[in-house]
Amino acid sequence: MEYVTHSEKETIDLGIDFGKKAKNNSIYCFSGELASGKTTFIKGFVSGATGYPIEDVNSPTFTYLNVYKNNKTVYHFDLYRIDTSEEFFMMGFDEYFDIGGICCIEWSEKISEILPHEYTAINLFHYKENSRKIVIDP
């Protein structure tokens, strides 16, 4: 599936729609260059899945993981600052794949060799001025 969004609000709204449909025990892997909209999409996704206000959802760039618990639990990883899947293992993050929540992983390509077989890939691209192309591959 391909989508084009023309504003931050449209990207958030698309994330909200996907978050509302997200099921427990699912993994969403986000990739795209810097400032392509990964965190913006995830803000909407977390809000749609858990009911958290958009402004309370932030990227865990320096902490690696934020947890949002409500009617569903979302584990939001930002792996920008890790270099290898071994680092991911050393922090014990692989355990989150199997504990019943929803994993959203930014920069998931850094751990591609250890990802479970079933996940949804969400790739974001800069597309024209102020637009993003979002390609979702279940």
Q: What is the pLDDT of residue 117?
A: 86
Q: Are 74 and 43 in contact (CB under 8 A)?
A: no
* Token digits of residue 121: 């890939």
128's torsion region: left (phi>0), alpha (psi -120 to 50) or beta? left
For the record, the structure tokens of 51 come out as 């009911």
Overall number of domains in the chain: 1
pLDDT tens by residue, 69-92: 999 999 999 999 999 999 999 998
Tokens 């959802």, residue located: 57
Boundaries of domain holding 104: 2-137
Q: What is the DSSP letter of 131?
A: -
- pLDDT (tens digit per residue) in 91-123: 989 898 988 999 999 999 999 999 988 999 999
Instruction: Name the band, by pLDDT with cuts 50, 70 and 90, for residue 128.
Output: confident
pLDDT at 40: 95
- CATH number of the domain residue 31 falls in: 3.40.50.300
What sign for the dihedral angle of Cα 7, 125, 52, 16? positive
Q: What is the pTM of this model?
A: 0.92
Identity of the amino acid at 64: Y
In angstroms, what CA-CA distances link 99 with 11, 59, 74? 28, 21, 11
> What is the arithmetic mean of pLDDT over 22-37?
93
Instruction: Calculate what percentage of the chain has a pLDDT beyond 70.
Output: 100
